[in-house]
Amino acid sequence: MNETEPDAQGTEPDTDVQRDIEPDTRDWADVLETGCAECGFTGDEDVTAVPDYVSASADAWSEVLTRPNASVRARSDRWSDVEYAAHVRDILDLFRERTSLIVSQSAPTLPNFDGDAVAIASDYRHQNPAEVALDLRAAALAYAADLAQITDEQWERTGYRSDGREFTVTSLTRYGFHELRHHLQDVGA
Ligand SMILES: [Zn+2]
């Protein structure tokens, strides 16, 4: 975290300096066992309903990204709407890739993703809201289309994160569903 005091109005000074946001070190996959009190995720959601949810989420994000302040951080320690959306766009691609690996390979190791590092490397903060909305929609529809093709046998296939944690397509899909749900709550949608 930076040590800069807020200005007299309690708002972030108008500056283009890239401020650091505290990296999120929590293992969010734990919500599969514990649920998430913050957004109401239970961990036993029906995965066959997720494709429709994923598709519909693109509409919600399109609305969010037309807000006049979509690129503004309301709090210096929180992402702006466009930063959350860029993260979700990349998460959608990541979960689609992970799903494809599990379905096509035998017990694969799934690629890691450091969302905070990617946010800085890809300069989420200065991405164009309209472009992010389009790309998020494309990513959502592609992921939803892949999930809609998963067969009963494929839902039970397994892959492993690099730390050894096992995922089935079912648990991976619930994990991805939580990401979408939680981040829509983060932006108040
Ligand atoms: Zn949550």
Sequence length of the chain is: 189
106 CA to centre of ligand 1 in angstroms:
30
Band of pLDDT at residue 11, cut at 50, 70 and 90: very low
9 CA to centre of ligand 1 in angstroms:
31
Query: pLDDT tens-digit profile of 110-162?
Result: 988 899 999 999 999 999 999 999 999 999 999 999 999 999 999 999 999 99
Distance CA 103, CA 156 (A): 10
Distance CA 172, CA 185 (A): 20
37 CA to centre of ligand 1 in angstroms:
7
176 CA to centre of ligand 1 in angstroms:
11
Where do the domains of the chain lie, and which CATH numbers do they carry? 48-186 (1.20.120.450)
Helix-, strand-, coil-residue percentages of the chain, each rounded to 5: 55, 5, 40
Query: pLDDT tens-digit profile of 130-140?
Result: 999 999 999 99
DSSP-derived 3-state class of residue 168: strand
Query: pLDDT tens-digit profile of 53-90?
Result: 999 999 999 999 999 999 999 999 999 999 999 999 99
Crossing angle, helix 81-104 and helix 50-64, to 10 degrees?
A: 160
21 CA to centre of ligand 1 in angstroms:
19
39 CA to centre of ligand 1 in angstroms:
4
56 CA to centre of ligand 1 in angstroms:
18
42 CA to centre of ligand 1 in angstroms:
9
Burial of 44 (0-12, 13-18, 19+ CB in 10 A): exposed
